[in-house]
């Protein structure tokens, strides 16, 4: 009997252009990322040398129209996320942060001058961005942030003070999108605003966070702001309040919902190949009913995750995808991928813990993906609030 890794695909739901994007992304990621990723993960380094190639592939600011960006549709963008995360969540993280959390807020909330200045070099990978929302005492509840900005002097400069923590790409960044509370003219209470804090501004430091046992091929750091003077022209003028950063997160969470499927496909395909070759009790372990049950669970959940991502992508094309639907996509597909990685690890027995079999790395990475961009629990509560009208956050 012929064997096939997938009994249901989404190919017929894709346009020719989307299929080509998917194929080209897979070919690139297998050729350029796969050979080096294990080494970078072990050394806890990011493959910086690949940034110009990510730019050439259109992975930086992919869904933005103009400014040298690829202007991909939501489904094509999602397919690139699958292939990046099939190789490593940390590499997908780099592209997500640059695209959805640094370039997107400049595009959506910035002035024409800010867009002209930052977006073309960011699309070319010559300038790197990061997104500073989380603080040591403000994670799931970003509204409690302490970082603040006070206006000073005739030019209306802002003086920023505070500390951002767990910031992907901050040690590499030329520009940090920093969310801080400030008293707007006429407002009684401080309001959250976005600022472009540039490398070289006095009082800015971005030390690297060492010792991560997850997402090791991604650079994580802090943003320390000690009386940093930021010109008024660096304020993102078009948004006020928590909906500013949350709007960016909706873009990034959408990409993660696709990317997680790629991580799950990688571990499933490796587990399938391994169990078809590994012989115990005189036959391939894939021939045992309990192994087949695991393979079927992994396969079916991946197909459902892909269909959910595709459905959300088509909704996004029409502008009707809402943040709660994105919470569902991020929550359920990341949980599915983490469960798949744990199951696949067990299916490889002792070899499952070895780097060369490439199960333990995605498993460790997915522990971070489960937590960032809104933890699994926070998305559960967001969906619960939508279903009941009752908030269980506090």
Binding site for ligand TGC (CB under 6 A): 93, 96-97, 131, 133-134, 140, 142-143, 168, 241-243, 246-247, 249-250, 252, 323, 372-374, 378, 382, 393
Q: Is 131 exposed, middle or buried (0-12, 13-18, 19+ CB in 10 A)?
A: buried
Residue 87 binds which of ligand TGC, ligand FAD, none (CB < 5-8 A, kind-dependent) = none
Count CB neighbours of 305 within 10 A: 25
244 versus 352: smaller Cβ distance to ligand TGC: 244
Cβ 134 to ligand FAD, closest distance in Å? 3
- Counted residue by residue, the chain has a size of 394
CA atoms in the 13 A half-sphere facing the CB of 219: 20
- What the block records as the tokens of 38 is 């294990």
Cβ 140 to ligand FAD, closest distance in Å? 3
Site string for ligand FAD, 64-103 (x = CB under 6 A): ---------------------------------x------
Residue 143 binds which of ligand FAD, ligand TGC, none (CB < 5-8 A, kind-dependent) = ligand TGC
Has 373 been annotated as catalytic? yes
From candidates 80, 87, 147, 168, binder to ligand FAD by CB under 6 A = 168
299 versus 379: smaller Cβ distance to ligand TGC: 379
Task: Say if CB 343 and CB 265 are below 8 A apart.
Answer: no
Cβ 144 to ligand TGC, closest distance in Å? 9
How many Å apart are CA 231 and CA 370, to the nearest integer?
37
From candidates 37, 72, 167, 176, binder to ligand FAD by CB under 6 A = 167
Cα-based angle 291, 295, 301 (whole degrees, multiple of 5): 145
Residue 242 binds which of ligand TGC, ligand FAD, none (CB < 5-8 A, kind-dependent) = ligand TGC
With left for phi above 0 and alpha for psi between -120 and 50, is residue 256 left, alpha or beta? Answer: alpha
Residue 243 binds which of ligand TGC, ligand FAD, none (CB < 5-8 A, kind-dependent) = ligand TGC
Cβ 354 to ligand FAD, closest distance in Å? 23
Residue 167 binds which of ligand TGC, ligand FAD, none (CB < 5-8 A, kind-dependent) = ligand FAD
Cβ 141 to ligand FAD, closest distance in Å? 7
**Antiparallel, parallel or unpaired: β 148-152 and 175-182:** parallel
Cβ 143 to ligand TGC, closest distance in Å? 4
Find the binding residues for ligand FAD in span 203-232 (CB under 6 A): 215, 220
256 versus 265: smaller Cβ distance to ligand FAD: 256
Cβ 154 to ligand TGC, closest distance in Å? 32
Task: Say if CB 86 and CB 262 are below 8 A apart.
Answer: yes
Residue 246 binds which of ligand FAD, ligand TGC, none (CB < 5-8 A, kind-dependent) = ligand TGC
Cα-only R_g, the chain: 22
Find the binding residues for ligand FAD in span 128-147 (CB under 6 A): 131-134, 139-140
How many Å apart are CA 121 and CA 14, to the nearest integer?
31
Find the binding residues for ligand FAD in span 363-392 (CB under 6 A): 368, 371-373, 375, 377-378, 381
Residue 241 binds which of ligand FAD, ligand TGC, none (CB < 5-8 A, kind-dependent) = ligand TGC
Residue with tokens 């933005």: 64
How many Å apart are CA 163 and CA 344, to the nearest integer?
39
Closest residue to ligand FAD in the complex (CB): 139
102 versus 159: smaller Cβ distance to ligand TGC: 102
Residue 54 sits in the site that holds ligand FAD (CB under 6 A): no
Residue numbers at the binding site for ligand FAD (CB under 6 A) = 97, 131-134, 139-140, 166-168, 215, 220, 368, 371-373, 375, 377-378, 381, 393
Give the catalytic positions in this structure: 373
């Amino acid at each position: 009997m012929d064997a096939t890794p997938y009994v249901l695909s989404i190919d017929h739901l894709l346009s020719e252009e989307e299929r080509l994007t998917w194929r080209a992304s897979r070919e690139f990621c297998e050729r350029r990322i796969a050979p080096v990723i294990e080494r970078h993960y072990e050394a806890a380094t990011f493959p910086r040398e690949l940034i110009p190639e990510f730019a050439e592939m259109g992975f930086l600011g992919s869904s933005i129209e103009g400014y040298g960006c690829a202007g991909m549709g939501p489904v094509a963008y999602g397919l690139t996320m699958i292939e990046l995360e099939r190789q490593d969540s940390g590499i997908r993280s780099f592209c997500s942060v640059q695209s959805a959390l640094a370039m997107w807020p400049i595009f959506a909330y910035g002035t024409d001058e800010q867009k002209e200045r930052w977006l073309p070099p960011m699309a070319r990978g010559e300038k790197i961005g990061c997104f500073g929302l989380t603080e040591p005492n403000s994670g799931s509840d970003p509204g409690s942030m302490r970082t603040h900005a006070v206006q000073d002097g005739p030019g209306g400069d802002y003086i920023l003070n505070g500390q951002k923590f767990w910031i992907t790409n901050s040690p590499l960044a030329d520009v940090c999108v920093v969310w801080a509370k400030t008293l707007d003219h006429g407002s009684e209470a401080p309001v959250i605003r976005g600022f472009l804090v540039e490398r070289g501004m006095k009082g800015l430091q971005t030390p690297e966070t060492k010792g991560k046992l997850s997402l090791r091929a991604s650079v994580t750091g802090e943003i320390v702001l000690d009386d940093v003077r930021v010109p008024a022209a660096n304020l993102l003028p078009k948004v006020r309040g928590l909906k500013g950063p949350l709007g960016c997160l909706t873009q990034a969470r959408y990409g993660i919902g696709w990317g997680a499927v790629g991580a799950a496909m990688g571990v499933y395909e490796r587990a399938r190949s391994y169990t078809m070759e590994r012989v115990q009790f005189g036959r391939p372990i894939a021939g045992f009913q309990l192994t087949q049950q695991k393979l079927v669970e992994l396969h079916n959940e991946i197909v459902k995750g892909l269909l959910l991502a595709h459905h959300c992508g088509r909704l996004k094309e029409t502008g009707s995808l809402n943040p709660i639907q994105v919470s569902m996509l991020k929550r359920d597909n990341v949980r599915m991928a983490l469960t798949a990685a744990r199951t696949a690890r067990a299916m490889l027995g002792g070899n499952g813990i070895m780097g060369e079999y490439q199960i333990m790395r995605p498993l460790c990475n997915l522990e971070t993906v489960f937590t960032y961009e809104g933890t699994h629990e926070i998305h559960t509560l967001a969906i619960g609030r939508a279903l009941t009208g009752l908030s269980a956050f506090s």
